[in-house]
Chain A
Amino acid sequence: MKGGGPVIPNFGGGSAHSLTCVKNNGLFCWSWFSSNWSGTLWPALRQHVVLVVIAVVIGFAIAMLLALLAHRYRPVEQPVIAFTSFLYTIPSLAFFELLVGVPGLGLSRATAEVALVSYTLLILFRNILTGLRNVPLEVLDAARGMGMSPRQTLLRVELPLALPAIIAGLRIATVSTVALATIAALVDNEGLGVPIISGINNYYFKTELIAGGALAVLLAITADGLLVGAQRLLTPWSRMRSA
């Protein structure tokens, strides 16, 4: 199944093997975790962040463009929904492997990103479009009646008012991309998927699997928290509403 190099990392050199809990195959070996943090886990975490950030940023840019188009020209919506829903339904394992066969992609970060970006589009597109469409009609009427051009209405009224929906979409897209990006290790030997897959393949020693999974969960929670914080900063009016 694997065309690339080995996905099982060494355990941080011979010294790691001498740790007692590695020999005992305990459920979680803290000393393995700490001795492999700087050499294996921390780099994997950083790679994972890069994978997710690139995917969400590109996905957001594409979804925003499509949503603005669909907002202006209604007939654009249905084809975009159909196509992004189709992408969203492709089983991720199959999708990554299929993309490897595409000329120019192969086993690379680009392959991983194409798949990850594809999975963000549906959620981001729908949320951005919903946010833009939920701006109250009387607010749009007032904006136009006071002499805002369509562009000024978009930038000064519609996008700011769509922000809560947009950020809600970004939160879902980010959290799900953090999870999906672990599978990307199959085609692009980096990220938290590497220790996870290694842990799956190791019948006895599960610390890697648990460490990789836990770091992914922590990363998702942190990213979500950062986005919640960003929303509070960017939308003071809605914060005061709930207060």
Chain B
Amino acid sequence: MDSSLDRDANRDQGNARGGDASSALELELRNVQKRYPGRREAAIPDLSLTVPAGEVCVLVGPSGSGKTTAMRLINRMIPLTGGDILLGGRSVLQRDPTELRREIGYVIQQVGLFPHLTVHDNIATVPKLLGWSKERIEPRVRELLELISLDAEIGRRYPHQLSGGQRQRVGVARALAADPPLMLMDEPFGAIDPINRATLQEGFLALQRQVRKTVVFVTHDIDEAIKLGDRIAILREGGMLAQYATPAEILDNPADEFVADFVGADRALKRLGLATLADVKLPPMNGDKPAGDVPVTMSVRDALAAVLAAGGQPLRVLGDDGEVRGLATLEAIGHVFDGSSGQLPDSVHAQAAAEQR
């Protein structure tokens, strides 16, 4: 009890300037089982996986695969019927559920902001539950509004006065308020239109680079999983884990037909989205007039699209400082999987692809 208080205090001090990696904890699901009374089949028969501290684990799968159930077992919104879940090496079953939940950020698709509270008071919810002083809450709320790029003035508004995207960002800020070591996010961008969803996904990646939380993110959208996940857990009907690996591994070596089907016939293209032109062996300029310029930070997939749009003509690739890196040609991109290693490096989560979009 005492040690947990000490740890909380340290964490909060550590996070006063936007967060640090020390505030994230490793999450381990150990032979987790969920049965509902009166049903023969278990919703989740036996699920084990470990999310390293500070990484984003995306649970993805068709409906009925138990991905949301698995997530809700972690903060004990649904009681476990077997196995154990360890957060930072400590079983969640030994914790008081309400106390545990205050330590785990929780974001849901419908956001669930409190309509009767201002944005400010919504964000301050968990700090208030934890009994923080006003002097400690005020700067924290201001800091979070800044973190999600909302004006301090918006803090005085009510949720219904915000756009859908703003509401979702406030939902994330509210979940981050007490600097939890783990965030649970259940299809947080599922109800947002595609354009705003892409913006929110970029915002999420930028935010995660700053706060480095351990995140469990549920989605049914494999593209979202590839874009956001450090690791992806693909679940199939009946709550079985089909594959748990990095996005590149899953695209390069799908474990079975189900995974190959689920990631789609265009998985080679998706794989190209995970690499940038910096990863491609580009032929040098040969005196031909290039049809245009592309930055070296562009994903190979987008570069391929650009070359195709230019009628198959090569494009000049420019580095950050404007120097010429070579030519993006159909042939160079076509041989991208041939390299000596036989595999493309995975550089998307380094940031390049995310930032240029």
Contacts and interface: CB of A to CB of B under 8 A. Distances in A.
Interface of A: 136, 138-149, 152, 157, 160-161, 235-237, 240-241
Q: By CB atoms of chain A within 10 A, which of B77, B108, B114, B161 has the most?
A: B114
Contacts of B175: 146
B110 A138 contact: yes
Contacts of A152: 129
B327 to A, nearest CB: 52
A147 B114 contact: no
Contact of A146 (B102, B110, B160): B102
28 contacts: A138-B109, A139-B112, A141-B108, A142-B112, A142-B113, A142-B114, A142-B171, A143-B114, A145-B108, A145-B184, A146-B101, A146-B125, A146-B129, A146-B174, A146-B175, A147-B98, A147-B99, A147-B103, A147-B129, A148-B98, A148-B129, A157-B114, A157-B116, A161-B116, A236-B158, A240-B158, A240-B160, A241-B158
Given A146-B102, A240-B158, 7 more contacts: A136-B115, A142-B111, A144-B101, A146-B126, A161-B116, A237-B160, A240-B161
Q: Which are the 9 A-B pairs with shortest beta-carbon distances?
A: A142-B112, A147-B102, A145-B106, A147-B101, A138-B110, A138-B112, A237-B158, A147-B98, A160-B116
Interface string B85-128: 00000000000001111110010111111111100000001100
B115 A237 contact: yes
A140 B115 CA distance: 11
A19 to B, nearest CB: 56
Nearest to A234: B116
B75 interface: yes
Contacts of B171: 142
Contacts of A149: 98
Contact of B77 (A136, A145, A235): A145
Contacts of B98: 147-149
Interface string B55-89: 00000000000000000000101000000000000
A141 B175 CA distance: 13
Contacts of B99: 147
Chain B interface size range: 20 to 34
Interface of B: 75, 77, 98-103, 106, 108-117, 125-126, 129, 158, 160-161, 171, 174-175, 184
B78 to A, nearest CB: 11
B111 A138 contact: yes
Contact of A139 (B103, B115, B184): B115
A136 B161 CA distance: 17
Contacts of A147: 98-103, 126, 129
Given A144-B101, A147-B101, A152-B129, A138 B77 contact: no
A138 B100 CA distance: 20
A149 B96 CA distance: 11
- Which secondary structure dominates where chain A touches chain B? helix
Contacts of A157: 114, 116
B116 A138 contact: no
A152 B184 CA distance: 22
Contacts of B114: 139, 142-143, 157, 161
B188 to A, nearest CB: 12
Nearest to B103: A147
Given A147-B126, A161-B115, A138 B108 contact: yes
A129 to B, nearest CB: 19
Nearest to B72: A145
Nearest to B100: A147
Nearest to B174: A146
B112 A136 contact: yes
Contact of B116 (A141, A142, A148, A235): A235
Contacts of B160: 237, 240-241
Contacts of A138: 108-112
Contact of A141 (B100, B112, B125, B174): B112
A146 B113 CA distance: 11
B129 to A, nearest CB: 6
B5 to A, nearest CB: 16
A140 B108 CA distance: 11
Contacts of A237: 115-117, 158, 160
A142 B126 CA distance: 11
Given A138-B108, A152-B129, A145 B115 contact: no
A184 B338 CA distance: 96
B168 to A, nearest CB: 12
B119 to A, nearest CB: 11
A42 to B, nearest CB: 40
A168 to B, nearest CB: 16
Contact of B108 (A142, A160, A235): A142
A161 B160 CA distance: 14
Q: By CB atoms of chain A within 10 A, which of B106, B112, B174 has the most?
A: B112
Nearest to A135: B115
A160 to B, nearest CB: 5
Nearest to A243: B161
Contacts of B106: 142, 145-146
